[in-house]
Amino acid sequence: MAKRKRTSKRRNSVLQVSTTASSSAVGLPAGAFFLFGGLCLLVVGWGLWLIFGWMHTMLFSGNARFQLERIEARTDGVIPEEILQEWTGVETGVNLYELDLPTLRQRLESKAIVRKALVRRTLPNGLEVAINERVPIARMGRVEGRRNFLMDKDGVLTQKSFQAKHLPFLLGVRQNVRVGDSILDTPAVHALACIEELMVMPSKIRDLLQIHVISVGHPDYLDVRTRDGYQILLPRVDSYEELLQRASRTIFDLTQQDSPDKLINLTPDGRNVIVGPK
């Protein structure tokens, strides 16, 4: 009986060893399947990228049909077409699909006089450029050659010119500026707003208020001088429509009365304000 028990124990241990060995040999290492699948997807994606790149070259960027032959440039202002074409930096003969249109647009808008640019392809062989220019409404400073800086309603200095003496001159603005800078964050902001509102008012008001100089040096008011010799003090406000209407009516009345008075004080303090020389 004792011998049989010992034999039974030996058989059980052999069976246990065989079962353990067979179970450990089944299956791949953990994560091997996902790694293999990821590599397959990577290879497939790379292949598709090569195929699409080849197709793009054959159909577009390498297609002689899309070689640039003409550049159509137009503007709502005064910039000549040949200058706009030069500013693009693009020459005929290049492939349209090799051009980076956002880069071209940024290149054009980097010019101070350009407010907004539109660039697009006109298939099969054209490029269209449309420019919205900044319109000067005032001038400031003295630069070389007796020229002035010109600025638009946003205070951006668009160019230097000596042919804009008809524009209002802003006095008292900082002079350490260059073309492309904006002075909208200076006391001149109210003067630009005043000029901009005057430009859209009826012609009879504009004729009475032909602004020659606006001094922006005082923190509380604008000192406006007209070409007819009137001096108008305007407070710094958000809207100048009503004040300009009052000023034009006053000038009209003074003209009708043949009055020698040339000072029109529209500040809240009235005649208590001490003003500069006429």
The answer to whether 142 and 154 have CB atoms below 8 angstroms apart is: no
- 64-133 classified as CATH 3.30.2310.20: no
Instruction: Delimit the CATH 3.40.50 region(s) of the chain.
Output: 138-272
The pLDDT value given to residue 193 = 97
User: Distance between CA atoms of 131 and 129, rounded to whole angstroms?
Assistant: 7
- How many of the other CB atoms lie within 10 Å of CB of 134? 21
The pLDDT value given to residue 34 = 67
Omega before residue 80 within 30° of 0, cis: no
Q: Which CATH class is domain 138-272?
A: alpha beta
Tell if the pTM clears 0.75, that is, is over it.
Answer: no
User: Distance between CA atoms of 249 and 236, rounded to whole angstroms?
Assistant: 20
Q: Which residues contact 79 (CB under 8 A, 6 or more apart)?
A: 113, 131, 133
The pLDDT value given to residue 277 = 46
| 178: exposed, middle or buried (Cβ count in 10 Å: 0-12, 13-18, 19+) | exposed
Instruction: Delimit the CATH 3.10.20.310 region(s) of the chain.
Output: 64-133
Q: pLDDT digit string (tens) for 52-104?
A: 555 555 445 556 677 899 999 999 999 999 999 999 999 888 998 889 999 99
**Which of 210, 176, 189, 198 is CA-nearest to residue 242?**
198
Q: pLDDT digit string (tens) for 19-44?
A: 444 444 455 565 666 676 677 777 77
The pLDDT value given to residue 18 = 47
